[in-house]
Amino acid sequence: MRDQRGHWSVILSDIRRESGLTRTELSALSGVGASTIENYERCKILEPSIYKIENLLSAMGYDLDAIKSENK
């Protein structure tokens, strides 16, 4: 498997951990289900809802620029 350090799902997971939130806590703050957050972080959902990602990031004080690809 290739290096995924820059993948949006890894960045999302890193931001959540840095924010000191569990998936359950982030779920309560964002309105996105804890199982969906887990699936995002484990790359089980390849094309996430942009609205859910925005809600997750907003709940942690970030915007979409936080997961912007460095390759583009």
Report the distance separating Cα 72 and Cα 17, nearest Å.
26
Mean pLDDT for 67-72 is 57
Q: Are 56 and 27 in contact (CB under 8 A)?
A: no
pLDDT in tens, 4-61: 666 889 989 999 999 999 999 999 999 999 999 999 999 999 889 999 999 999 999 9
User: What pLDDT does 5 receive?
Assistant: 62
Give the chain's domains with CATH numbers.
Answer: 8-66 (1.10.260.40)
Cα separation, 1 vs 6, whole angstroms: 14
pLDDT at 1: 40
Helix (H) or strand (E) holding 23: helix 23-30
Positive or negative torsion for Cα 41, 44, 46, 49:
negative
